[in-house]
């Protein structure tokens, strides 16, 4: 017996990509549930019916968009490849870069956020996110250990635990909560002070 699968035609890969791109934009604009299939189709230059020819249900499209988001849109802002030689600089680049990006593209981080909540009830999504977080956690740990070897970060720190703290810090930061003015100004500087290998003169 044939599985209750979608019709098997090869489809146009180009149209698929166009729909995923339009879906990403719509979800960044209106959120995961707020994005309307009609808008997405319209933005891709087709009708809803044709959208459903490529993605039988909205959930299929959402899945494809989130997968695309993780693989294409999420790694870039992290700058995991930046300045590998200088771990502290890489850390700073990542944090300030993300803060700026979160101001410019808040919808992107709202999408990441909705994804995290959705992952609680979706094993596939959770697995994808876990892989991504693992890579991120590992990269930050590597940066910290490199800086420890250079004597620029306290050698007694548990780099894994600190990496976790930094990830939490960044995840909270990109939600851009309404903190008192200037609360973020000395953040990066202060993080460096906390991690620094030697006590300042005081």
Partner DNA sequence: CACGTTTTCTATCACTTGATAGAAAAGTAG
Partner DNA sequence: CTACTTTTCTATCAAGTGATAGAAAACGTG
Q: Could you list the residues that contact its own copies (CB under 8 A)?
A: 33-34, 106, 110, 113, 116-117, 119-120, 126, 129-130, 133-134, 137, 154-158, 160-165, 167-173, 175-180, 183-187, 189-191, 193-195, 198-200, 202
* Among its own copies, DNA, none, partner that 49 touches (CB below 5 to 8 angstroms by kind): DNA
Pick the closer one to its own copies by CB: 110 or 152: 110
Torsions phi, psi for 196 (to 5 deg): -55, 150
DSSP conformation class of 102: H
Least distance CB 99 / its own copies (angstroms): 10
Q: Are 148 and 159 in contact (CB under 8 A)?
A: yes
Q: Could you list the residues that contact DNA (CB under 7 A)?
A: 9-12, 15, 35-38, 45-50, 52-54, 56-59
* Among DNA, its own copies, none, partner that 70 touches (CB below 5 to 8 angstroms by kind): none
* Among DNA, its own copies, none, partner that 58 touches (CB below 5 to 8 angstroms by kind): DNA
> 68: burial class by Cβ within 10 Å (0-12, 13-18, 19+)?
middle
Pick the closer one to DNA by CB: 45 or 135: 45
Q: Which residues of 113-143 are buried (b: 16+ CB within 10 A; e: fewer)?
A: ebbeebbeebeebeebbeebeeebeebbbbb
**Calpha distance 115→27 (Å, rounded):** 11
């Amino acid at each position: 017996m044939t599985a209750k699968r979608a019709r098997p035609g090869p489809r146009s890969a180009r149209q698929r990509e166009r729909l995923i791109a339009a879906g990403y934009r719509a979800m960044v604009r209106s959120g995961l549930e707020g994005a309307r299939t009609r808008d997405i189709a319209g933005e891709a230059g087709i009708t809803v019916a044709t959208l459903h020819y490529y993605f039988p249900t909205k959930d299929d499209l959402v899945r494809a968009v989130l997968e695309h988001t993780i693989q294409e849109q999420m790694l870039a802002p992290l700058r995991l490849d930046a300045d590998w030689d200088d771990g502290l600089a890489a850390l700073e680049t990542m944090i300030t870069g993300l803060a700026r990006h979160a101001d410019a593209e808040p919808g992107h981080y709202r999408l990441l956020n909705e994804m995290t909540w959705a992952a609680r009830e979706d094993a596939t999504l959770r697995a994808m996110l876990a892989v991504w977080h693992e890579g991120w956690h590992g990269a930050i740990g590597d940066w910290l250990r490199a800086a420890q070897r250079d004597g620029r970060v306290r050698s007694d720190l548990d780099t894994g635990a600190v990496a976790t703290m930094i990830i939490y810090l960044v995840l909270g930061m990109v939600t851009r909560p309404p903190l008192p003015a200037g609360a973020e100004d000395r953040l990066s500087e202060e993080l460096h002070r906390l991690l620094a290998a030697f006590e300042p003169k005081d």
